[in-house]
Amino acid sequence: MDQHLRIELSKQGILTTTLQDLYNWGRKSSVWPMTFGLACCAIEMIATTMARYDLARFGAEVFRASPRQADLMIISGTITKKMAPQVVRLYNQMPEPKYVIAMGACAISGGPFKQGYNVLKGIDRYIPVDVHIPGCPPRPEALIHAFMTLQKKIEEQHLTGADRPRHLNPAEPSEFLVPGCGEHDLEPPYNPEVWPIFKVIGQ
Amino acid sequence: MILEQIKSDAEAAVPGCRLQIIQNGSPSAQDSLLIDNQHAVAVATLLRDHPDYLLDYCSNATGLDWLDAETSQKVKAPKVIDGVEQEIEEVQKTLIPGYLEAVYHLYSMTSKHGPVILRLRTTNRTDAVHLPSLTPVWRSAEFQEREIFDLYGIVFDGHPDLRRILMWDGFTDYPMRKDYVEPDDYEYEPTAHDDVLKKARTHISPES
């Protein structure tokens, strides 16, 4: 619809919208995160939901204790290799549309434990991540910023076309490979369908 | 010195036990008591129940890994060279075989003293890695002995529930051992340097 016509109509008291706008507005305004914390970042996440920072302003006050009722998984903290299969399994149990915020240095890369034997070097090795937040831990403002970034991302999604979101494309997977605990490491160490190996420039 | 007193008391009470005081030359000067494996539980029980010590609290149990070590010593030996007897310095090398060690820090809550440090040593690092468990004496050692078993591979005989505690059950390595080789998951290292750079390079294909 033409923007000028829409503005003109709204001046006359006629509200117009599109199905896409309504659908995206509805989804972005009630993103329900899962009650799920992994390490110290979870403390910041809890602080974000409390009165001072009040994540409820963004429609995300309902932390659901079941993955079946949650839309958003906030990976808040260190993912040990022992915990990684459970994290992926919880993500698989969430219904579409579902989103992931990787919160903090550990969740996005392994952080200070990157070269350790027991810590996964970033959850994006196994599941697709929508927003990464750096920081150790990120402040509640950073989590709110990530949340607003996610809302903007949802708002800009097209319902049709090649760039439509995953949950509207039957060809795209909804569940991802759960890694197994091998004798020395997780098997496989990353999911090549989700995590293409990046080229390191300058080497 | 209390350790010498403990040593003589224990040797009197537990016949056949061999105790050795390990000196600590660092400023902390926390000397420790090495106990032989056969009499460890008897000596530990004595330390807990003896009215002079009453070491009723095991605050910490940890593991150590000692690799094979070589010590070299210069020895003057007479040798005949070209018909003339000369004294020649020779370097004698002795191999100290490696072993694993469990260390216990004991305190007395009743008498308000401590710590007394106990050490137990395995015969080697490969097949004879059994030690007696002190969990029957101090209950607080249970999870810490499990952790030592998990990360160092010391098998504690007499432990009520010896399973891995931090790593998963199918894991076969002992990560805190000095010869542990970590899994190679260096596929993506954005700011690699030194050893990490060497490991990351093996993942970079030549055409990329």
State the complex-level ipTM: 0.77
Note whether A67 and A34 are within 8 A (CB): yes
Q: Which of A81, A116, A197 sits opposite B187 (nearest CB)?
A: A197
Q: Give CA–CA dist B24/B117, Å, rounded.
A: 11
pLDDT, residue B1, reads: 54
Average pLDDT score over residue span B130-157: 93
Average pLDDT score over residue span A72-94: 93
Mean residue pLDDT of chain A comes to 89
Residues on chain B touching A203 (C-beta within 8 angstroms): 192, 197, 200-201, 204
Let me know if residue B21 belongs to a domain.
yes
For residue B131, give its domain range.
2-65+100-182
pLDDT, residue B3, reads: 87
Q: Which carries the bigger pLDDT value, residue A73 or residue A172?
A: A73
Per-residue HEC secondary structure of chain B comes to CHHHHHHHHHHHHCCCCCEEEECCCCCCCCCEEEECHHHHHHHHHHHHHCCCCCCCEEEEEEEEEECCEEEEEEEEEEEEECCEEEEEEEEEEEEECCEEEEEEEEEECCCCEEEEEEEEECCCCCCCCEEECCCCCCCCHHHHHHHHHHHHCCEEECCCCCCCCCCCCCCCCCCCCCCCCCCCCCCCCCCCCHHHHHHHHCCCCCCC
Ramachandran region of residue A144, left (φ > 0), alpha (ψ -120 to 50) or beta? alpha
Q: Choose the mutation target among B185, B191, B198, B199 for the interface with A, i.e. most A CBs under 10 Å.
A: B185
Residues on chain A touching B166 (C-beta within 8 angstroms): 82, 118
Instruction: Give the count of Cβ contacts less than 8 A between chain A and B.
Output: 54
- Residue pLDDT, tens place only, A140-195: 999 999 999 999 999 998 988 888 888 888 888 889 999 999 899 888 888 888 88
Let me know if residue B168 belongs to a domain.
yes
Note whether B175 and B182 are within 8 A (CB): yes
Q: Give CA–CA dist B71/A170, Å, rounded.
A: 68
Q: Is the pLDDT of residue B152 over 90?
A: yes
pLDDT, residue B70, reads: 85
Q: Does B190 touch chain A (CB under 8 A)?
A: yes
pLDDT, residue B177, reads: 92
Cβ neighbourhood burial of B173 (10 Å; 0-12, 13-18, 19+): middle
Q: Do A199 and B208 touch (CB under 8 A)?
A: yes
Q: Which of A184, A189, A190 sits opposite B173 (nearest CB)?
A: A184
pLDDT, residue B138, reads: 93
Distance from CA of B205 to the nearest CA of A (A): 10
Q: Report the range of poorest mean pLDDT among A111-120, A162-171, B82-91, B148-157.
A: B82-91
Cβ neighbourhood burial of B207 (10 Å; 0-12, 13-18, 19+): exposed
Q: Does B201 touch chain A (CB under 8 A)?
A: yes
Q: Which of A189, A199, A203 sits opposite B183 (nearest CB)?
A: A189
- The domains of chain A, with CATH numbers, are 1-30 (no CATH), 32-155+180-203 (3.40.50.12280)
Distance from CA of B194 to the nearest CA of A (A): 13
Domain count, chain B: 1
Let me know if residue B172 belongs to a domain.
yes
B92 pLDDT band, cuts 50/70/90, is confident
Q: Do B182 and A117 touch (CB under 8 A)?
A: yes
Cβ neighbourhood burial of A183 (10 Å; 0-12, 13-18, 19+): exposed
Q: Does B147 touch chain A (CB under 8 A)?
A: no
pLDDT, residue B182, reads: 86
Let me know if residue B119 belongs to a domain.
yes
Let me know if residue B188 belongs to a domain.
no
Question: Quick one: which H or E segment has residue A24?
Answer: helix A19-28
Which CATH number belongs to the domain containing residue B149 in this structure?
A: 3.30.460.80
Let me know if residue B6 belongs to a domain.
yes
Average pLDDT score over residue span A95-118: 90
Let me know if residue B197 belongs to a domain.
no
Note whether A154 and A85 are within 8 A (CB): no
Residues on chain B touching A134 (C-beta within 8 angstroms): none
- Residue pLDDT, tens place only, B26-56: 998 889 999 999 999 999 999 999 888 899 9
Q: Which of A117, A198, A203 sits opposite B183 (nearest CB)?
A: A117
In degrees, to the nearest 5, what angle opens at C-alpha A189 toward C-alphas B63 and A192? Answer: 170
Q: Which of A115, A117, A181 sits opposite B170 (nearest CB)?
A: A181
Cβ-based neighbour number of residue A182 at 10 Å: 16
Cβ-based neighbour number of residue A75 at 10 Å: 30
Q: Report the range of poorest mean pLDDT among A31-35, A49-53, B160-164, B190-194.
A: B190-194
Question: Quick one: which H or E segment has residue A103?
Answer: strand A99-103
Predicted TM-score (pTM) of the model is: 0.84
pLDDT, residue A201, reads: 56
**CA-derived radius of gyration, chain B:** 23
Q: Do B172 and A183 touch (CB under 8 A)?
A: yes
Burial B126-145 (b: 16+ CB within 10 A, else e): eeebebbbbbebbeebbebb
Q: Is the pLDDT of residue A203 over 80?
A: no
Let me know if residue B129 belongs to a domain.
yes
